[in-house]
Structure 1
């Protein structure tokens, strides 16, 4: 069986977080750009499928393949790093200082932004035949989505900010879970299934993902959406990124770390009891 138990998953989470902190900056940028592009391609594919079939759920079923590519090819996604790096820091890894964590997040965020916007520019060329034709139906849908992710929230002012932040939090609760759940199996098929489920749950419900939005809002702007740079950053990118940070770090990474971390090797042994719950119920075991 390729199932990995939760306390071993936590060990993998901590190790993965520590390894990410040792990746050189140039590789953080390259891997971050690749991840941004993969998620951009997956998003445009999902939107195309939704437009062609008339069902957002069909597009949502296809989108997770992009995250599978990003995770299984060991690229860098800021939302996954929000879940893993704090675990390495709390576990006391010597390279996991707050400064190094923040530096890593900064470079990965930049890499994701570069890759996502680069794909947005390329796709805008395709959807407008190099600017020589009207945009396609997929392009029109991307314009609508870009406006819904920015000016819609702006129209609701503070309530809009609360909503977009909360959607970001809920999103990375699921995306962080996809990253962590992939550690629960050693097979390629198992990892794909583990990633697919939580990713489908976030995308199908329209929650807000920082890296997806680095593609979908710029491409919408390039195609004619009535969205400014300040609309993009103030009403979506900044609050969504902060929501992703809270959701990934607290609801997924640290929550799973705290409840499933292996017991310390120097922890005191439990008192010897001649009569225990395990004696009365032989099938009961406090271990995983």
Structure 2
């Protein structure tokens, strides 16, 4: 009896693909990493901008049913994560799960991890500030007093809270981001990937959790219209605790337990239930960034190699 086709991978297979994704990230050139990271910040800000336009333009609904207003506006926020994933850009918060997972397997070094985190964080920030300044404020997207007033209010609500509250909100946020990455990696075609990204990200927006990179759009846009705090308080009260919380959520709540469960044993094929065989090293493997690329490959070839989901799916 033939085994029916399965539109996805087992957790063990997803863990293997996650490690390969980390290796691919470690092989990016400086220019590729910077450009991908800038675009990642730009994309996530687009989702935040659409969310802000909808909720700021619905004052009646916010007053009568704030939960419904948050749910409707938050439905548009995952747009940025979908664009990042399907165009293969870099987002430091998902990398806070991916890179430690591979580091625990000793597939990448701590230097690779630090390089990826620092560069992607800085250029994610730059992409967000570009969107906030040029595509939101100077383009006058929030063109009514009600909308600009709400931009200030939501910005102040992100900063004028206890340090520990923002830290824990960062923890919760990045657990959902890690799940979005893990689940979407397990899906094969785009519709399933979009669904796997959309639901976890939508959930953390509804819960009010804080995303350190999205905040580089959401807080500055309010500051442009005049908030009751300045850059120093933004850094201490929001940037630091939310970033640390995102790291804890990505590493301790996602990478570590998933490594314990799925990163140390055999890879199991989802269709057969049997251990998945590794590709032979003597076969050209330009569809993978695994560290078992054929020995004759040059460093340039290794840095240019890319993870190809279709071929991995076919092999599995």
TM-score category, normalised to shorter length: 0.7 to 0.9
Match of 1:27 among 29, 32, 37: 32
> Greater shift after overlay, 107-116 or 224-233?
224-233
Q: How far 1:261 moved relative to its partner?
A: 2.6
1:264: how far off? 5.0
Residue 64 of structure 1, aligned match among 78, 83, 103: 78
After superposition, the Cα gap between the structure-2 partners of 1:91 and 1:128, relative to the gap in structure 1 and judged at 3 Å, is closer
Does residue 54 of structure 2 align to residue 40 of structure 1?
Answer: no
Q: Secondary structure at the match of 2:208?
A: coil
The equivalent of 1:281 in structure 2 is none
Assess, with a 3 A threshold, how the Cα gap between structure 1 residues 70 and 244 changes in structure 2: closer, same or farther.
same
Q: Please, which of 87, 102, 105 is the counterpart of residue 88 of structure 1?
A: 102
TM-score, length basis structure 2: 0.77
Tell me if structure 2 keeps the 8 A contact 1:36–1:211: yes
Residue 138 of structure 1, CA deviation: 2.4
> 1:244 corresponds to which residue?
246
Match of 1:109 among 121, 130, 133: 121
Deviation of 1:90 after TM superposition, in Å, equals 1.0
- Structure ranking higher in helix proportion: 1
Alpha carbons of structure 1 residues 264 and 41: separation in structure 2 relative to 1, 3 Å: closer
Structure 1 residue 23: Cα displacement: 1.0
CA distance in 1, matches of 2:132, 2:92: 18
Deviation digits for residues 131-176 of structure 1, max 9, x if unmatched? Answer: xxx75432221111111111x22xxxxxx11111000000000011
2:178 maps to which of 173, 176, 179: 176
**1:14 aligned residue:** 19
Does the Cα contact within 8 Å between 2:46 and 2:79 map onto a contact in 1? no
Report runs of 4+ in structure 1 exceeding 4 Å deviation.
285-288
Check if 1:125 corresponds to 2:125.
no
TM value normalised by structure 1: 0.84
Task: Report how many residues are paired.
Answer: 256
Gaps of 5+ in 1: 154-159, 266-284
Check 1:37–1:66 CA distance in 2 against 1; reply closer, same or farther (3 A cut). Answer: same
